[in-house]
Amino acid sequence: MSTDIHGADIYTASEKAGIGKDSILDFSSNINPLGIPDSVKNAAINSIGQSSRYPDINSRELKKSISVFENIPENWIFPSNGAAEAIFRITFFLRPSRGLVTAPAFSEYENAMVAAGADVDYYCLKEENDFKIQDDIFNKIQDCIDIIFLCNPNNPTGQLIERAAMEKIICACKEKGIYVVIDECFLDFSAHKELYSMTGFLHKYDNLIILKAFTKIYAIPGMRLGYCMSSNKRIIEGLNVSGPPWNVSSIAQAAGAAALTEAGYIEKTVEYVSDQRRYLFDELKAMGIKAYSSNANYILFRLTDTWGDIDLKEELLKRGILIRSCSNYVNLDSSYYRIAVKTHEENKLLVMALREIAGIR
């Protein structure tokens, strides 16, 4: 059995806690609290009848929908079985000798590079800088680096990289022949995402690759659907041959195309998540917990000394609540945790459980 290094493992948690998986309140996975849009559910259901034949190997209708949504040509798009598949295809096609990632960051960047035989360097994000990238990252952009992965907003810190700073990084990398992969999977949860997305720069930089996913924003992680974008024809063609065919199911293709026609869903999500994120942040702060500001649908926090030597994940699991321990993130330790922003009712249950553990009435 593989060892899970991410959140969302309600299956192991339910076995450990001795309760049904449907009874686990999962704050470890960062899924849209508004749930799956009805149009997406209906599209998935209606497509089941197509399961008796192979899915469109070229995902034509899905690409058309993404092209309109992102305002880019269809041949700049590669649909994938979740963003994670795209990350592995990118590294196995480009075969970098050495890559650079921020620390902390989503572990699959490093895992993919190691699997492809690359060495990995880290740019450590500092707590005193609120885990924001600083200008000293350019000291890490050296000729020996072949690829850089950046997450915007970062997972697990929720911090954004300003567009001007991002373009400066891309430009410096282009001069040295370095590919830049920007993971924007959580950017749809951020207010004013149009000020941070680098999609509009794809035409300008052929060393730029952008990752997106339907998983989080449309609450369909079980369907496994993402895509990456690049104006570099060689990269898109390479991704198509760097893994097995029929990587996106008919159901996922139909659901994705329907999701991109949703009107007002993302705007409603941003407003709701923003309100609930503020509620959780204030409650954590009131309990003497060091919480970090976030621009996504999750919050990173650190237990202060007043909480003593406690395994908060285990204590909450006793109460049927699963959170993400960040002890296995590079550059973090066992005092750090991440929680998703869920519905207000669910968020209140988490707050009540934390208050009980802390002995706060």
pLDDT digits over 135-169, tens only? 999 999 999 999 999 999 999 999 999 999 999 99
Class of residue 25 by CB neighbours under 10 A (exposed 0-12, middle 13-18, buried 19+): middle
Locus of tokens 């941070």: 196
Say whether both 242 and 342 belong to one domain: no
* Shared domain check, 248 and 124: yes
The letter for the amino acid at 150 is L
Does 284 fall in a domain?
yes
The tally of domains found in the chain comes to 2
Q: Which residue has the tokens 């060091």?
A: 290
318 shares a domain with 199 = no
| Arithmetic mean of pLDDT, 245-249 | 97
Q: Does 301 map to a domain?
A: yes
Based on the domain organization, do 181 and 56 belong to the same domain? yes
User: Could you tell me if 162 and 183 lie in one domain?
Assistant: yes
Based on the domain organization, do 44 and 25 belong to the same domain?
Answer: no
Nearest CA to 54 among 292, 246, 296? 246
- Contact assessment for residue 99 and residue 326, using Cβ atoms and an 8 Å cutoff: no
In contact, 102 and 120? CB cutoff 8 Å? no
Does residue 3 fall inside a structural domain?
no
| Strand partners for 79 | 227
- 26-62: per-residue pLDDT in tens? 999 999 999 999 999 999 999 999 899 999 999 999 9
Residue 4, domain member (yes or no):
no
Final residue of a structural domain among 226, 259, 292 = 259
Burial (CB count <10 Å: 0-12, 13-18, 19+), residue 320: middle
Mean pLDDT of 78-85: 97
- pTM summary value: 0.94
Residues 218, 316: one domain?
no
Range of the domain at 223: 38-259
Q: Do 180 and 285 belong to one domain? A: no
Same domain (yes/no): 43, 24: no
Q: Minimum mean pLDDT among 13-27, 45-59, 339-353: which range? A: 13-27
pLDDT exceeds 50 at position 1? no
Is residue 143, in this structure, part of any structural domain at all? yes
3-state secondary structure the chain: CCCCCCCCCHHHHHHHHCCCHHHCEECCCCCCCCCCCHHHHHHHHHHHHHHHCCCCCCCHHHHHHHHHHHCCCHHHEEEECHHHHHHHHHHHHHCCCEEEEEECCCHHHHHHHHHCCCEEEEEECCHHHCCCCCHHHHHCCCCCCCEEEEECCCCCCCCCCCHHHHHHHHHHHHHCCCEEEEECCCHHHCCCHHHCCCHHHCCCCCCEEEEEECCCCCCCHHHCCEEEECCCHHHHHHHHHCCCCCCCCHHHHHHHHHHCCCCCHHHHHHHHHHHHHHHHHHHHHHCCCEECCCCCCEEEEECCHHHCCCCHHHHHHCCCEECEECCCCCCCCCCEEEEECCCHHHHHHHHHHHHHHHCCC
Residue 61 sits in the same domain as residue 184: yes
| CA–CA separation, 120 and 107 (whole Å) | 12
The reply to whether 181 and 204 lie within a common domain is yes
| CATH number, position 97 | 3.40.640.10
Give the per-residue pLDDT at 2: 41
Q: What is the pLDDT of residue 127?
A: 95
Question: Residues 80, 193: one domain?
Answer: yes
Domain boundary residue, one of 259, 291, 316 = 259
Give 187-240 pLDDT, tens digit per residue: 999 999 999 999 999 999 999 999 999 999 999 999 999 999 999 999 999 999
Interval 267-296 mean pLDDT = 97
Torsional class of 155: left (φ above 0), alpha (ψ -120 to 50), beta (otherwise) = beta
Single residue among 259, 287, 316 that ends a domain in this structure: 259
